[in-house]
Amino acid sequence: MHPSDDSDARRQKGLSLKNQGDELTRLGGAENLAKAVQLCDEAIVLLGDQPVAADGSDRDELASAWMKRGIALLNMGAPEALAEAIRCFDQAIELRKKLPLAENAAFRYGLAACWLNRGDALARIGGEENLDPALASHAEAIALLETLPLETDPLYVKRLAIAWLNRGIALEFKKTAPALAEAIQSYHKTIALLENPKYAGDGSLDFILAGAWLNAGNATLQASGETAAPETCAAAEKALSLVAKTESREPESAEIGFKARNVLCRATIALLMATENADARMDLIGKITDTVEDGLRLAQQWEKGRVAHFRPIATQLFHVGALVYEKEQPQFLSEFLIDHLDPDRATCVMPLVVHLDNDWYTIATQALARVRQRVHSLDFALLATPQGQHWIDIMNGVTEAESRLQELREGVVSV
pLDDT in tens, the chain (415 residues): 445 558 888 889 999 999 999 999 999 999 999 999 999 999 999 998 888 887 888 899 999 999 999 999 999 999 999 999 999 999 999 999 999 999 999 999 999 999 999 999 999 998 889 999 999 999 999 999 999 999 889 899 999 999 999 999 999 998 899 999 999 999 999 999 999 988 776 678 899 999 999 999 999 999 998 899 999 999 999 999 999 999 999 999 999 999 999 999 999 999 999 999 999 999 999 999 999 999 999 999 999 999 999 999 999 999 999 999 999 999 999 999 999 999 999 999 988 776 678 899 999 999 999 999 998 887 777 766 777 788 889 999 999 999 999 988 887 444 3
Output the pLDDT for position 199: 79
CATH entry 3.40.50.360 includes domain 154-196+204-274: no
> At 120, phi and psi to the nearest 5?
-65, -45
Output the pLDDT for position 3: 53
49-70 in b/e form (b: 16+ CB < 10 A) is ebeeeeebebbbbbbbbbbbbb
Output the pLDDT for position 379: 76
* 263: Cα separation from own chain's centroid: 12
Polymer length in residues for the chain: 415
Spatial separation of the C-alpha atoms in residues 73 and 32, rounded to whole Å: 11
Output the pLDDT for position 2: 46
Spatial separation of the C-alpha atoms in residues 152 and 148, rounded to whole Å: 9
Instruction: Report the predicted TM-score, pTM, of the whole model to 2 decimal places.
Output: 0.87
Decide: 94 and 67 in contact? Cβ < 8 Å: no
> At 78, phi and psi to the nearest 5?
-70, 150
Decide: 253 and 246 in contact? Cβ < 8 Å: yes
**Do the domains 36-47+58-121+135-146 and 154-196+204-274 sit in the same CATH topology, yes or no?**
yes
Neighbours of 191 (CB within 10 A): 21
> Half-sphere exposure of 342 toward its Cβ, with a 13 Å CA cutoff?
19
Decide: 342 and 404 in contact? Cβ < 8 Å: yes
| CATH of range 36-47+58-121+135-146; options 1.10.287, 3.30.420, 1.25.40, 2.40.128 | 1.25.40
Nearest residue to 168 via CA among 203, 240, 206, 119: 119
Q: Where are the domains of the chain?
A: 36-47+58-121+135-146, 154-196+204-274, 295-415
Output the pLDDT for position 32: 94
Spatial separation of the C-alpha atoms in residues 215 and 256, rounded to whole Å: 10
214-239 in b/e form (b: 16+ CB < 10 A) is bbbbbbbbbeeeeebbeebbebbbbb
Alpha helices in 174-277 (DSSP H): 177-194, 206-224, 229-243, 251-273
